[in-house]
């Protein structure tokens, strides 16, 4: 029972990180293609109260993996050492650039490029890691047997590109919700370009996976009920477009969140009961029952609900649109 609880908790925290920090990373990606300083300032203003808190979910996910699934933690860390270092480097560089640009004058261009580059690197390596897991992580009895750059294969690289596009789409929907005037109109135009680009990227991944005959595809033939998840994703995309047409600023973001949830759910359903497809199940990877129960009475009952509550209150408090006249935090 505890193994199932912590598997669900891990899935939830990973999803919340991908979704919430994905908005911030997407703003950073779009930031690099914006040249107007006023619009750039407003873009940063939309994420300034929440961006560092969103990265808490990455820390919690790593802590759950370390404490509840040590076998998977050791294997994933060994396999993805290089992309993890790139991810952390990108997040650190992005955070430094975010703060320093507000207090700089002649070096602002350096920090602007740093904010964009850190966001792109972090989003790209996340997608590459997911793509590499889908293809298969080489291991023997829990020991990694691949090379340091095994994750740099075409399917994984394409996955990284698609996730960058997805984060940019999510960020554009976020900007529609949070801004008004010229920036909101610009974000609407970006959504109309990014949504078909994301759809085309997902279609390419599907075609490529069929060509490679990836084992994950057989899960769909074994579990036809999973077809409801892509249908939910299509419904999210339809809600996004409906919100754009009716100029209801919250609906595009809600629709994009539904699209993300459907994609994450489809990926998770394709893997279960495996944590490392298709060699290590969550039951095999779990720590002893006594350890999982010990974790539950503190982390499961106190830490996790408090963190979820803090994030909910934070987004509720800053849910309204930004004021262009406001200088910052």
Show the tokens assigned to 119: 């966001």
Average pLDDT over residues 20-39: 91
pLDDT of residue 16: 94
Average pLDDT over residues 132-148: 87
Close Cβ partners of 317 (under 8 Å, ≥ 6 residues apart): 49
Give the model confidence (pLDDT) of 45-54 as tens digits: 898 888 878 8
Give the model confidence (pLDDT) of 160-175 as tens digits: 999 999 999 999 999 9
Show the tokens assigned to 76: 């994933």
Report how far residue 183's alpha carbon sits from residue 194's, in angstroms, rounded to the nearest whole number. Answer: 16
State the pLDDT confidence band at 17, using cuts at 50, 70 and 90: very high
Query: Which residue from 190, 191, 329, 328 is spatially nearest to 256, judged by alpha carbons?
Result: 191
Query: Which residue from 88, 188, 80 is spatially nearest to 129, judged by alpha carbons?
Result: 80
Predicted confidence (pLDDT) at residue 58 exceeds the cutoff of 60: yes
Angle at 141 between CA 139 and CA 143, to 5 degrees: 50
Whether the Cβ atoms of residue 198 and residue 169 lie closer than 8 Å to each other? yes
Average pLDDT over residues 22-38: 92
Predicted confidence (pLDDT) at residue 329 exceeds the cutoff of 50: no
Predicted confidence (pLDDT) at residue 328 exceeds the cutoff of 60: no
pLDDT of residue 141: 79
pLDDT of residue 324: 65
Query: Which residue from 40, 170, 178, 60 is spatially nearest to 115, judged by alpha carbons?
Result: 40
Report how far residue 247's alpha carbon sits from residue 251's, in angstroms, rounded to the nearest whole number. Answer: 9
DSSP secondary structure string for all residues of 133-187: HHH---EETTEE-S-TTTT-SHHHHHHHHHHHHHHHHHHHHHHHHH--HHHHHHH
Give the model confidence (pLDDT) of 221-248 as tens digits: 788 888 899 999 999 999 999 999 999 9
Report how far residue 225's alpha carbon sits from residue 229's, in angstroms, rounded to the nearest whole number. Answer: 8
Average pLDDT over residues 279-302: 90
| Pairwise pLDDT comparison (20 vs 319), residue with the higher score | 20
Average pLDDT over residues 181-200: 94
pLDDT of residue 224: 82
Report how far residue 254's alpha carbon sits from residue 249's, in angstroms, rounded to the nearest whole number. Answer: 9
Burial degree of 42 (CB within 10 A; 0-12, 13-18, 19+) = buried
Kindly report the pTM of this predicted structure.
0.94
Residue with tokens 């300083």: 37
Give the model confidence (pLDDT) of 59-103 as tens digits: 999 999 999 999 999 999 889 999 999 999 999 988 888 888 878
pLDDT of residue 146: 83
* R_g of the chain computed on alpha carbons: 20
pLDDT of residue 214: 86
Cα-Cα-Cα-Cα dihedral sign, residues 16, 138, 80, 78: positive
């Amino acid at each position: 029972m505890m193994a199932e609880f912590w598997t669900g908790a891990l899935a939830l925290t990973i999803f919340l990180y991908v979704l919430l920090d994905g908005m911030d990373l997407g703003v950073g990606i779009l930031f690099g293609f914006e040249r107007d300083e006023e619009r750039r300032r407003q873009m940063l203003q939309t994420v300034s109260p929440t961006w560092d808190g969103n990265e808490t979910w990455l820390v919690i996910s790593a802590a759950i993996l370390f404490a509840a699934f040590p076998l998977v933690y050791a294997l994933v860390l060994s396999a993805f050492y290089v992309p993890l270092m790139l991810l952390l480097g990108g997040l650190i560089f992005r955070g430094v650039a975010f703060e320093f640009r507000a207090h700089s004058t002649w070096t602002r261009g350096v920090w602007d490029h740093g904010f964009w580059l850190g966001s792109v690197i972090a989003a790209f390596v996340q997608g590459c890691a997911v793509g590499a897991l889908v293809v298969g992580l080489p291991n023997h009895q829990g020991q990694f047997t691949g090379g340091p750059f095994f994750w740099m294969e075409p399917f994984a690289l394409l996955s990284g590109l698609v996730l960058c596009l997805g984060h940019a789409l999510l960020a554009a929907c976020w900007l529609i919700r949070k801004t008004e005037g010229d920036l909101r109109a610009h974000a609407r135009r970006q959504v109309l370009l990014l949504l078909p680009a994301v759809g085309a990227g997902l279609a390419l991944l599907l075609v490529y996976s069929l060509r490679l005959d990836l084992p994950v595809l057989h899960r769909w033939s074994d579990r036809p009920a999973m077809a409801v998840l892509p249908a939910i994703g299509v419904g999210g995309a339809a809600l996004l477009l409906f919100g754009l047409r009716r100029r209801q600023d919250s609906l595009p973001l809600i629709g994009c969140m539904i699209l993300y949830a459907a994609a994450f759910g489809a990926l998770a359903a394709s893997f279960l009961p495996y944590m490392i497809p298709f060699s290590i199940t969550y039951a095999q990877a779990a720590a002893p029952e006594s350890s999982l129960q010990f974790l539950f009475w503190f982390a499961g009952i106190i830490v996790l609900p408090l963190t979820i509550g803090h994030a909910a209150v934070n987004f509720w408090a800053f849910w309204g649109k930004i004021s262009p006249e406001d200088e910052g935090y």
